[in-house]
Structure 1
């Protein structure tokens, strides 16, 4: 009786195995989890970013660049500015530290807040929270900023000569800002995050803004970085997204080609 039951179990197990083997081989392979999608051509990535933007507001198109640069080495810092050919995605409010004729020049150029030592005292005492996006200063006012330097640095507002915000040409710098100038600066994890347009922009406008930015990133390549061909070893990955949309990987090859074309057409 026991032997008959054992034989029956063996037959059933064999039948189950035979049925399992009838399943086509590819279906037996489980799909890999979290498999990264292949990088897209820049034009296709832009199309998908616009298609994926479902929010009820005009989302910003952002670029996220991972660099092969040691962020702990100050001499390797990547930072710079670029004038986007089709304008920046956000209107920027500006404060200028200046006095006398330079203060009047800043007001005429459209600065939102203009002041000298009295403005610095207001900020130091907490009376003025300085709710602006950018701060500019004339060289003559720079020594007075020490009193509020920590406050400004914490908010990324400290005027900087390398970024054009510590300058004698306040009017010229404000004009560039209104024309679409944006700043970029590498963060602690060797990442650049920059807004480069709106989803309402035409595809060509977004492509040119992104191309102009990537050309500027190449120009900002640290001199101490191991000499490589253009982006190799410098730009490790590029993703673009809308404010609420998923990040889409973009091929370095298509980015390089677009930046080269922009340089040939727009830069002497």
Structure 2
């Protein structure tokens, strides 16, 4: 018989049907923490079929407590906008040179931002950035004349959420080293943003299941009655 992993043993000890408040879930995850600073994640199962355009759920939200992650940002800009992006903390700023760099496979970025006048250049990277979810989009605020603010938002805890094929959204909400209040604030920010992003084509129950987990911890079901508008 195969030996159970530490995480499997933890899961086996828990009541799989129990519904937790977010406070109880955070407390439970802390009792099973690993030797490194684990990422805490939320998963939301939604009553949508993202194959239909009117059921797509996607957006941006600023986590009040930040992500605990060093976010790498690339910016397509020239002149004063390039200077502002650099001053705001962008990791890489350029134009055609940045495009060529990305075409060569250098795509180690969490966010790509562009000024509107650079979209002719960025457009050539559709097949490269698109599959990674990095293509700048005006609806998400990543195509903007105010690159300075966009970089600050990305570095300061703004995250993108996007529903996957099976109607699920996954998002990190911080590190286990965060305080209970910080993790709870981030949880409430992301869940409420997703509730507000309910698409017109969604029929029936929108939020069907919510769970919270840590890198090495168990997945804990959250009582969705605690999520306003769910």
Secondary structure in 1 matching 2:25: helix
Secondary structure in 2 matching 1:244: coil
Secondary structure in 2 matching 1:63: strand
Q: Distance in 2 between matches of 1:153 and 1:96?
A: 16
Q: Which runs of 5+ in 2 are unaligned?
A: 1-14
In the alignment, does 2:215 pair up with 1:243?
Answer: yes
Q: How does 1:65-80 map to 2 (within 5 A)?
A: 65-80=44-59
* Equivalent of residue 149 in structure 1, options 126, 134, 137: 126
The answer for the alignment partner of 1:186 in structure 2 is 163
In the alignment, does 2:80 pair up with 1:118?
Answer: no
Which stretches of structure 1, 4 residues or more, deviate above 2 A after TM superposition? Answer: 121-124, 223-226
In the alignment, does 2:70 pair up with 1:91?
Answer: yes
Secondary structure in 2 matching 1:122: helix
The answer for the alignment partner of 1:170 in structure 2 is 147
Q: Distance in 1 between matches of 2:180 and 2:172?
A: 15
Q: How does 1:1-268 map to 2 (within 5 A)?
A: 36-53=16-33, 55-124=34-103, 126=104, 129-226=106-203, 233-256=205-228
The answer for the alignment partner of 1:32 in structure 2 is none
Q: Is the 8 A contact 2:192 2:227 kept in 1?
A: no
Q: Which has the larger radius of gyration?
A: 1
- How far is the alpha carbon of 1:36 from its aligned partner? 4.1
Q: Distance in 2 between matches of 1:57 and 1:182?
A: 23
Q: Deviations over 1:79-133 (max 9, x none)?
A: 1111111111311001001111211111111100000122213333x1x513211
More helix by share: 1
- How far is the alpha carbon of 1:163 from its aligned partner? 1.6
Q: Is the 8 A contact 1:42 1:255 kept in 2?
A: no
Q: Distance in 1 between matches of 2:100 and 2:40?
A: 38
Matched residues, number: 216
Q: Distance in 2 between matches of 1:147 and 1:212?
A: 34
Q: Distance in 2 between matches of 1:182 and 1:123?
A: 22
Q: Distance in 1 between matches of 2:187 and 2:208?
A: 16
Q: Deviations over 1:182-230 (max 9, x none)?
A: 111111111100000111111121111101111111111112323x6xx
Q: Distance in 1 between matches of 2:137 and 2:94?
A: 18
- How far is the alpha carbon of 1:60 from its aligned partner? 0.6
Higher relative contact order (CA closer than 8 Å, sequence separation 6+): 2
The answer for the alignment partner of 1:6 in structure 2 is none
Q: TM-score, normalised by structure 1?
A: 0.76
- How far is the alpha carbon of 1:234 from its aligned partner? 0.6
